Amino acid sequence: MAATAETGINRGKAAIFDLDGTLLDSMGVWDQVDIDFLSRRGIEVPDDYMTKVAAMQFRQIAEYTIARFGLQDTPEELMQEWDDMARVMYSTVVEAKPFACEYLRRLRDSGARLAVATSLPPALREPAMRHVGIFDYFNEIVSVDDAGDVGKDRPDVYLLAASRLGIMPEDCTVFEDLLVGMRSAKSVGMKVWAMHDDSSDLDWSEICELADGVMFDFHDAPRRL
């Protein structure tokens, strides 16, 4: 794939993938972490809690959780506890969404450049990606932490992924399960394909109106970017 000498921009297409709920069938992991974490403190998970924190980055979730439930923990203590609980599950239990590995292989073989744009910290994302066999397909892996701790309610992490791939935003297709992330990607001219996940049920009708395409597994994914 050639790049222009003046700009360093590659002529080609790119795919940028979310992890949780998109490539990884992992949202149940966080549901269980939430249940176990709050249960240790004698608290039942409120119906709206998981929806409220879905688009936040890790520290934001910790700060919100402390404020909402009046906890005495520091954000660092919460993040460490969650990290310890999740690390085992991400490296041993999480599975890839159906046909994800085959689709990534097809895209890579077509010459497309591939990136991950995630809210997961490195201690969780790399073990999970290696566990399900997708780590080596990607040219770049970035997180909201790399994008100045800006959550997916803004397009920073998607733009960072595009920049590192050397592909213009309008030549990028984002695969995402969260409505807030889809809005951000669309706002900078990227195409969006929506993966259905239980976490997106409440927003599904709006997602269907916004996205360029929708899918329930990667068998439904676009053959061309």
> pLDDT tens, position by position, for the chain (225 residues)?
444 334 444 558 999 999 999 999 987 788 889 999 999 999 999 999 988 887 787 889 999 999 999 999 999 999 999 989 989 889 998 999 999 999 999 999 999 999 999 988 888 899 999 999 999 999 999 999 898 888 899 999 999 999 999 999 999 999 999 999 999 999 999 999 999 988 788 899 999 999 999 999 999 999 988
**Does residue 87 sit in the same domain as residue 143?**
no
Report the pLDDT value the prediction gives residue 4, as an integer from 0 to 100.
Answer: 36
Residue range of the domain that includes 55:
28-91
Report the pLDDT value the prediction gives residue 11, as an integer from 0 to 100.
Answer: 57
CB 76 within 8 A of CB 61: no
Model-level pTM?
0.80
**Does residue 101 sit in the same domain as residue 202?**
yes
Looking at 60, 91, 122, which one is the last position of a domain?
A: 91
Report the pLDDT value the prediction gives residue 199, as an integer from 0 to 100.
Answer: 76
**Does residue 160 sit in the same domain as residue 102?**
yes
**Does residue 34 sit in the same domain as residue 145?**
no
**Does residue 190 sit in the same domain as residue 120?**
yes
**Does residue 52 sit in the same domain as residue 86?**
yes
**Does residue 18 sit in the same domain as residue 35?**
no
**Does residue 176 sit in the same domain as residue 192?**
yes
- Domain total of the chain: 2
**Does residue 84 sit in the same domain as residue 104?**
no
Report the pLDDT value the prediction gives residue 2, as an integer from 0 to 100.
Answer: 40
**Domain annotation covers residue 222:** no
Looking at 73, 91, 109, which one is the last position of a domain?
A: 91
**Does residue 107 sit in the same domain as residue 201?**
yes
**Does residue 112 sit in the same domain as residue 206?**
yes
**Does residue 126 sit in the same domain as residue 62?**
no
